[in-house]
Amino acid sequence: MSIRIGIYGYGNLGRGVENAIRQNPDMTLRAVFTRRDPSTLHIQTPTAEVLHVDRAPEMVNEIDVMILCGGSATDLPEQTPAMAKLFNVVDSFDTHAKIPTHFANVDAAAREGGRVAAISVGWDPGLFSIARMYSGAILPDGKDYTFWGRGVSQGHSDAIRRIEGVLDAKQYTVPVETALDAVRSGSNPDLTTREKHTRECYVVAKEGADLARIEQEIKTMPNYFADYDTTVHFITKEELDRDHAGIPHGGKVIRCGRTGAELQNSHIIEYSLKLDSNPEFTSSVLVAYARAVARLNQEGVTGCKTVLDIPPVYLSPKSAEELRKELL
Amino acid sequence: MSIRIGIYGYGNLGRGVENAIRQNPDMTLRAVFTRRDPSTLHIQTPTAEVLHVDRAPEMVNEIDVMILCGGSATDLPEQTPAMAKLFNVVDSFDTHAKIPTHFANVDAAAREGGRVAAISVGWDPGLFSIARMYSGAILPDGKDYTFWGRGVSQGHSDAIRRIEGVLDAKQYTVPVETALDAVRSGSNPDLTTREKHTRECYVVAKEGADLARIEQEIKTMPNYFADYDTTVHFITKEELDRDHAGIPHGGKVIRCGRTGAELQNSHIIEYSLKLDSNPEFTSSVLVAYARAVARLNQEGVTGCKTVLDIPPVYLSPKSAEELRKELL
């Protein structure tokens, strides 16, 4: 029996989910839900329907898992609880400080509907959370470090685009190599924000704009850039489109911990991602967890889960026997 | 309530477990079980008893989890099922081909006793299996690579020691840097055994032994060395004791996979361990899983589990709420 998937929202993430479903033979895309006029939206799966979001409730018996592909700022806080009353759901909610509230809302909705929801699925939060969880439990006397990049930060790119005189921009977050080396040496260094990451900005300015002022505004922007060593490169629109069209990202979670009678032995666990496409990789994680929530609900589980609650074996289409044989 | 631990077998692994328990405030070492005369065995925990293994059955109400610290060849196939009838247990059984049989035996015993058993816990099998599990489920179009080292292989060191004229020896398994680079480039290379690892041998020969013959016997030994580029260094006993006393190890699981409409985007997930002490790190993993089996059994679960079946959250002493707040 194929797992029937609905995609709710068809941006970068929704398109990534559509592609990922084709890589998983035990899954079928049943429908894409959009707030736009469905006739204007062209998807790549000829066997799937495009429906207005208002028609989602009609599809409760047609869809096993709804994957929510909206944004964390305004979409998911509304959509995930609403959909969790009707469907098993997966989302990639990533506003760290609001996760407890979101969890409570989604949990209540999913229990009411007798469904399973997995929230905050992706790589951070998500796979990086899992890495921190295992490493911390195994090496209690130790310290975690998370580095992001080299990769595109959408939030920082947007912040630059809001500056007067800027036509377009792309911002890369870059981990500092000497900081990485210090962490990997096992010395458990204390690192400031500035010591861990630098920020590289590629900016297309409007004709006649005051470049010195733009650069100054970027470098002194509180929260986004002021605490970092930031470099600004002015380039043409053509250069931006040619050299900076992708959305790569990645990062590392490193834990260094000690064991032994005198804590004399040092151990380093490093989990690292290098991603050509941030949204496509996140989509692939969402799809693997869609399989998990479908199975959990079949077993009678209800309520909200995170990646920390879900046994690894639920992510795979293979049986526990096969996995023990192949992976252990 | 502290989780009361028993250690069954007091070699490198058992001593590592004893140290790891002291790093986990929610655990107490209750007793060490030995096949030797208990009066001859001196442990580091004054509050714990040393008992002969025959007395284990008397301790069923005193111990929440028995951690089995014997070897996979002959100890664990007998000991784990026997103990799983009486206690929740954790072992590090690592004879790959025999895991299905061991699982079946331990599962039957644990169900009979109403206990939970976790087998094949450690880093490979163990954490590396988990890494392969997540990566493979997320990137189905891809390929796994496992590299071991730089680290001491006990089996290969023992094989050298059995050669006539050899007094002592230590063998390091070393991953080939160019192979690592090829894998990380995303090219999904096909690599032979010889291309992935080299073997470095440090050998102390008896006085007057024929060094050329020893070197030849090592390099041509089937299964152990014949398929590898092997280097042999003859050193003195003093040099061996001074420079090669530790038991470091480690390794990497790397998966490279592709996504996108044309599978045009490449992603690399790398999980890496660098360990000063192989047995102490393995012990730390065993202790974290001891916590998990104690909790699972409290919730009414019985039977045999592996690391693939156990949700990450069960490894931590913290509540699910705390973990969501701190790690997601």
What's the Cα-to-Cα distance from A227 to each of A191, A196, A219, rounded to whole Å?
Answer: 13, 11, 9
How far apart are alpha carbons B328 and B320 in whole angstroms? 11
- Residues of B with CB below 8 A from A20's CB? 259
Chain A residue nearest residue B24, CA to CA: A140
Band of residue A1 on the pLDDT scale cut at 50, 70, 90? confident
How far apart are alpha carbons B21 and B251 in whole angstroms? 25
Q: Which residue has the tokens 């496992």?
A: B146
Contact present, A119 and A129 (Cβ < 8 Å): no
How far apart are alpha carbons A6 and A72 in whole angstroms? 19
DSSP for B137-176, written as a single string: HH-SSEEEEEEE-SEE-HHHHHHHHTSTTEEEEEEEEEE-
Q: Which residue has the tokens 């230590």?
A: B170
pLDDT at A235: 98
| Encoded tokens for B296 | 């699972």
pTM over 0.90: yes
Decide if B325 touches A, using CB distance below 8 A.
Answer: yes
DSSP for B41-78, written as a single string: ---S-TTSEEEEGGGGGGGTTT-SEEEE-S-TTTHHHH
| Encoded tokens for A36 | 């736009």
Closest CA to B174 of B248, B124, B256: B248
Mean pLDDT of chain B: 97
Strand order across the beta sheet in which A197-205 lies: A151-152, A166-175, A197-205, A229-234
Band of residue A37 on the pLDDT scale cut at 50, 70, 90? very high
**Percent of chain B at pLDDT exceeding 90:** 99
Task: Give B209: exposed, middle or buried? Use CB within 10 Å, 0-12, 13-18, 19+.
Answer: middle
Rounded average pLDDT over B226-246: 97
Asked whether the beta carbons of residue B277 and residue A260 sit closer than 8 angstroms, the reply is: yes
Count of residues making up chain A: 328
Asked whether the beta carbons of residue B260 and residue A271 sit closer than 8 angstroms, the reply is: no
Asked whether the beta carbons of residue A260 and residue B275 sit closer than 8 angstroms, the reply is: no
Q: Distance from B6 to chain A by nearest Cα, in Å?
A: 18
What's the Cα-to-Cα distance from A165 to each of A168, A211, A222, A237, rounded to whole Å?
Answer: 9, 8, 19, 14
pLDDT at A31 over 90: yes
Band of residue B85 on the pLDDT scale cut at 50, 70, 90? very high
Q: Distance from B3 to chain A by nearest Cα, in Å?
A: 15
What value, to the nearest 5°, has the Cα angle with vertex B93 and ends A133 and A265?
50
Cβ partners under 8 Å of residue B291, min gap 6: A137, B3, B24, B26, B27, B314, B315, B316, B317
Rounded average pLDDT over B133-158: 96
Asked whether the beta carbons of residue A260 and residue B280 sit closer than 8 angstroms, the reply is: yes
Decide if A100 touches B, using CB distance below 8 A.
Answer: yes
pLDDT at B311 over 90: yes
Rounded average pLDDT over A59-69: 98
Cβ partners under 8 Å of residue A152, min gap 6: A170, A171, A172, A173, A244, A246, A247, A248, A249, A278
| Encoded tokens for A289 | 């967890």
A240-294: per-residue pLDDT in tens?
999 999 999 999 999 999 999 999 999 999 999 999 999 999 999 999 999 999 9
Residue A213 identity (one-letter amino acid): R
A231-241: per-residue pLDDT in tens?
999 999 999 99
Asked whether the beta carbons of residue A288 and residue B19 sit closer than 8 angstroms, the reply is: no
What value, to the nearest 5°, has the Cα angle with vertex B75 and ends B70 and B79?
95
To test the contact with chain B by mutation, choose from A152, A265, A307 the residue with the greatest count of B C-beta atoms within 10 A, namely A265
Contact present, B16 and B40 (Cβ < 8 Å): no
- Residues of B with CB below 8 A from A328's CB? 96, 99, 120, 125, 129, 306-308
To test the contact with chain A by mutation, choose from B120, B143, B259 the residue with the greatest count of A C-beta atoms within 10 A, namely B259
DSSP for B264-318, written as a single string: -EEEEEEEEEEESBHHHHHHHHHHHHHHHHHHHHHTT--EEE-TTTS-GGGG-SS
Contact present, A111 and A302 (Cβ < 8 Å): yes
Interface subset of B 56-75, CB within 8 angstroms of A: none
A115-162: per-residue pLDDT in tens?
999 999 999 999 999 999 999 999 999 999 999 999 999 999 999 999
How far apart are alpha carbons A215 and A201 in whole angstroms? 9
Q: Distance from B91 to chain A by nearest Cα, in Å?
A: 13
What value, to the nearest 5°, has the Cα angle with vertex A140 and ends A134 and A145?
65
Biggest CA–CA distance in chain B, Å, is 68
Q: Tally C-beta pairs within 8 A across A and B.
A: 202
A196-222: per-residue pLDDT in tens?
999 999 999 999 999 999 999 999 999
Q: Tell me whether the omega of the peptide bond preceding residue A125 falls within 30 degrees of 0, making it cis.
A: yes
Band of residue B283 on the pLDDT scale cut at 50, 70, 90? very high
pLDDT at B263: 96
pLDDT at B1 over 90: no
